[in-house]
Amino acid sequence: MLPRPLKNVPENRKAVAPYNFVELPNQIVEVKPDSLPQQNIYYSQSENRYTGRINCTLTTESPLYIRCGLTTEEFACGAESKDLADFFYTGIANKARKPVIPGSSLRGMIRSLVEIISFSKLDKVSDADKFFFRAVAADKDDPLKNIYTNYLKKENLKAGYLVKKDDGWYIRPATKIEDKYFIYIKEKHVEGKIDGFICMKSLDYVPQYRQNISFGDFYTQNGRCCAKKISNDCTEFEYMGVLVTSGNMLESTNLDEQERERKLKSKGGRKYHYLVGIPDSKAELIKINDDAITAYCRALTNFQKAKSPYDNNPFEQDSGVLKNGRVIFYSQIKSEEIILFGHCPNFRIPYSPLQDGKAASAVDFIPNHIGKSDKIDLADAIFGFVREKDKNHPNSTHENNGTKLSALAGRVFIENAICEKTVNDDIWLTGNLEQTITPKILSNPKPTTFQHYLVQSNDDKAQLKHYASKPVEDTVIRGHKLYWHKPNAKKEDIEENDTTKIKKSSSQYTKIKPIKAGVKFTFDIHFENLSNIELGALLWILKIAANPKYCLSLGMGKPLGMGAVKIEYQLLLNNRHERYSQLFNSNQWLTGEENQSNTDSKSQACIDAFEKFIVDNIHPDDHPEGYNATKLDKIPRIQMLLLMLRCDNPPSADNTRYMTIEPTNEYKERPILPTPFQVMNKLEEDKRKFPPPTESPEKPKLKKNNSRKKNHQNNRSKPGNGNNSNFATQRPPKPPKK
């Protein structure tokens, strides 16, 4: 059984977020390859195979926005999509007619829901993004603190210079100074001594590299070798090298200069920079691991990319600190290739579950039988697939009527949804076609917030699972991510009204033209040779989408309450035998859709067949505690989904907001994201099964020895007694302040 999130997170440990998750199934429900239809014939309804279409009317229940792509001309002139506010349209000629919802967006929305309700694979997850972290000033009870300090032990931390060669990146170690690879220097000793130096309190502060400087006059403080003297003149002091300034950890704040200065002077404020000696010409070059380089480049932050608003940083957009001749800090374990490196001594290191320095990704925390299975599931069968033989599915071929399958064509085709009204009608949130709004900034998803994105079975901060925990055994990803609905979202809930913020970070803002609530679009879903089970899966979702209690989600701005939609539908089955038996029906074309007398009963029969197929084939641990469900909506995973789709009575705005960093850092204690059951105050309905508690091995019992205990107490009362000395754990006395 997979790890499961806590049923009831204590109030003082609860996090809030505009999103939540439908947990992973314990196993996928398989569709046997030999049950799939042949692609060159139409089957009859008597064979439980259906062809036809579903006529759909989509109604926006909150503002909706889907951005249009760039035209060839716009792309050629270097335009950015964020600066083009038009709602999606097809072709320049149609731009001035009716807005369009692309069929690909509708297909993606429906497929993701089919994957959830049919207990299908979760395989559309990229392993390109690797996870890194820092825990420099972490609290003692932070689960990452010990991992970080163990990786970056002082004796392993070094500095050198990057060397680019044809076969990759290398490091040439720096010359040691006072037997150290780098020396510390307080900022107060640098101010006024180095031309053009920017202080950390400055609003335009960026990390700096100052070459050909000299330094000297060393002293030791708090175990660090520090310099007092520094000069632009490379001959003034004994040693020559490079000044590397540290980050001020204030790049994402909105503090003014006085507030920055107070922050820097506080206990946790930054005060030191680094001095690195010249390259050691006698030292051998050390290779940086190629995979580590790739992982580093893929995990660059906007700060490390010198991306707006940090575009005056000295880093490279695609490679961060990687520049020939630049100072680099690294940790070398034994004599192996370098895996751990960064632009300062307190650099980010990879989450490494195997403790080999290789960075983890979200894919590592999806069980192979859920994410990399080569079994065919309902989503595969309905929408098709192409297996990646060389990577995730090395042996992924299936027998279908004697033919091996490495790919399968889908049998569902979704049209673009066309607005019933024109662009000149009253359909826009702003009131007219030309007016745009600037929405509030939405940050990118941060899966490194592991207390939200990974299953937590313990609320103790020190015991939280993270991306260096054992995958699957200790934790897995939380599941399918969805956003809570906010159907009453208004223009003021979406728009950024603080013009100061917009001016300060103009490159981070965009313009949009949302469509208001109550606007209708029409489209058709065409399908061929679907089994009653497959058609039932589509109809189950559409039945939910038509229910007044629920909405589906589409488009941008979901955390702001945008994108809630309802869908009314009509099933039209097509009799292919009739369709091709004659050309005309009276004076009309014969479509095969003429007789729909039994369609409603067939529709419900398909839904029932789908539900029975799922409840009969899921893992026993996916059923509720105490009994096996006979209806899909009694299965806890599906109940989670239905809670997330509620739009008639959604959670309060305070329970579905993003947490803040200022003025109070709500992330500091790493609060845990509760389940949808708890967010919706439905704990009594949470009937999930949980893994049995792991039993700790019983501690050996020692025989009591009173005299020994007495001697031990006597020894404890004498601090100078050698029998109580433990030099490995004793704290050395503080040196006097200079």
Q: Copy the structure tokens of residue 456.
A: 């937590």
Same domain, 225 and 287: yes
More confident residue, 516 or 583: 516
pTM of the model: 0.85
Same domain, 429 and 564: yes
Q: Copy the structure tokens of residue 469.
A: 């925990």
* 17 is a domain residue: yes
pLDDT of residue 738: 45
The number of angstroms, rounded, from the C-alpha of 508 to the middle of its chain's C-alpha atoms is: 19
Q: Considering only CA atoms, which of 517, 421, 511 is closest in space to residue 63?
A: 517
Beta bridge partner(s), residue 20: 482
* 120 is a domain residue: yes
Same domain, 227 and 98: no
* 517 is a domain residue: yes
Same domain, 489 and 535: yes
* 246 is a domain residue: yes
pLDDT of 217 higher than 80: yes
Specify whether the CB–CB gap between 556 and 65 falls below 8 A. Answer: yes
pLDDT of residue 92: 67
* 304 is a domain residue: yes
pLDDT of residue 47: 86
More confident residue, 662 or 321: 321
3-state secondary structure of 221: strand
pLDDT of residue 68: 87
Residue percentage of the chain with pLDDT more than 70? 87
Question: For 8-32, what is each residue's pLDDT tens digit?
Answer: 999 999 999 999 999 999 999 999 9
Question: For 417-449, what is each residue's pLDDT tens digit?
Answer: 999 999 999 999 999 999 999 999 887 778 889
Confidence tier at 719 by pLDDT (50, 70, 90): very low
pLDDT of 89 higher than 90: no
Going along 256-382, which residue ranges are E strands?
272-277, 286-287, 327-331, 340-342, 349-350
Confidence tier at 240 by pLDDT (50, 70, 90): very high
Average pLDDT of the residues in 73-88: 78
Q: Which residues have C-beta within 8 Å of that of residue 493, sequence separation ≥ 6?
A: 486, 560, 561
Among 86-100, 124-138, 326-340, 371-385, the range of highest mean pLDDT = 371-385
Q: Considering only CA atoms, which of 525, 188, 131 is closest in space to residue 349?
A: 131
* 155 is a domain residue: yes
Q: Considering only CA atoms, which of 200, 211, 208 is closest in space to residue 250?
A: 200
pLDDT of residue 74: 72
Q: Which residues have C-beta within 8 Å of that of residue 188, sequence separation ≥ 6?
A: 271
Confidence tier at 46 by pLDDT (50, 70, 90): confident
Distance (Å, whole) CA 32 – CA 378: 10
More confident residue, 348 or 701: 348
Question: For 36-45, what is each residue's pLDDT tens digit?
Answer: 999 888 888 8
For the chain, the average pLDDT equals: 86
Q: Copy the structure tokens of residue 524.
A: 């058709």
Same domain, 656 and 520: yes
pLDDT of residue 712: 43
Q: Copy the structure tokens of residue 298.
A: 């893929």
* 707 is a domain residue: no
pLDDT of 731 higher than 50: no
Distance (Å, whole) CA 668 – CA 567: 41
Confidence tier at 708 by pLDDT (50, 70, 90): very low
Task: Please report which residue ranges of 255-343 form alpha helices under DSSP H.
Answer: 257-265, 290-298
Same domain, 213 and 316: yes
The number of angstroms, rounded, from the C-alpha of 709 to the middle of its chain's C-alpha atoms is: 54
pLDDT of 678 higher than 50: yes
Same domain, 155 and 301: yes
pLDDT of 415 higher than 60: yes
pLDDT of residue 268: 54
User: How far, CA to CA in Å, does 395 sit from each of 32, 375, 391, 516?
Assistant: 16, 11, 10, 49
Which range marks the domain in which residue 343 is found? 132-362
Q: Exposure pattern of 87-111 as b/e (b: 16+ CB <10 Å)?
A: bbbeeeeebeebbbbbbebbbebbb
Distance (Å, whole) CA 5 – CA 20: 12
Specify whether the CB–CB gap between 136 and 268 falls below 8 A. Answer: no
Q: Copy the structure tokens of residue 309.
A: 């608003």
More confident residue, 686 or 128: 686
pLDDT of 342 higher than 60: yes
Q: Which residues have C-beta within 8 Å of that of residue 403, sequence separation ≥ 6?
A: none
Same domain, 520 and 419: yes
pLDDT of residue 726: 40
Does the bond joining 663 to the residue before it have cis omega, within 30 degrees of 0? yes
Distance (Å, whole) CA 688 – CA 669: 27
Q: Which residues have C-beta within 8 Å of that of residue 300, sequence separation ≥ 6?
A: 319, 320
Residue percentage of the chain with pLDDT more than 90? 61
Specify whether the CB–CB gap between 115 and 25 falls below 8 A. Answer: no
Same domain, 243 and 154: yes
* 396 is a domain residue: no
Specify whether the CB–CB gap between 588 and 517 falls below 8 A. Answer: no
Residue position matching structure tokens 């091709």: 580
Beta pairing class for 224-231 and 183-186: parallel
Beta pairing class for 183-186 and 272-277: antiparallel
Supply the Cα-derived Rg of the chain in whole angstroms: 31
Distance (Å, whole) CA 512 – CA 495: 10
Provide the residue type at 33 as one letter.
P
pLDDT of residue 399: 55
Q: Which residues have C-beta within 8 Å of that of residue 678, sequence separation ≥ 6?
A: 7, 8, 9, 14, 686
Distance (Å, whole) CA 728 – CA 559: 51
Q: Please state which of the ranges 239-253, 472-486, 584-598, 695-709 shows the lowest mean pLDDT.
A: 695-709
Among 148-152, 249-253, 401-405, 710-714, the range of highest mean pLDDT = 148-152
Same domain, 18 and 136: no
Specify whether the CB–CB gap between 146 and 317 falls below 8 A. Answer: no
Average pLDDT of the residues in 244-250: 74
Beta pairing class for 584-585 and 588-589: antiparallel
567, containing H or E segment: strand 564-573
Average pLDDT of the residues in 623-641: 96
Beta pairing class for 520-531 and 412-414: antiparallel
Does the bond joining 309 to the residue before it have cis omega, within 30 degrees of 0? yes
pLDDT of residue 732: 46
Average pLDDT of the residues in 62-79: 82
Average pLDDT of the residues in 580-599: 76
pLDDT of residue 709: 44
Phi-psi region of 368 (alpha: psi -120 to 50; beta: other; left: phi over 0): alpha
Same domain, 593 and 450: yes
User: What's the domain count of the chain?
Assistant: 2
Specify whether the CB–CB gap between 14 and 474 falls below 8 A. Answer: no
Same domain, 307 and 427: no
Give the count of beta carbons closer than 10 Å to the beta carbon of residue 124. Answer: 11
Q: How far apart are the first and last CA of the chain?
A: 59
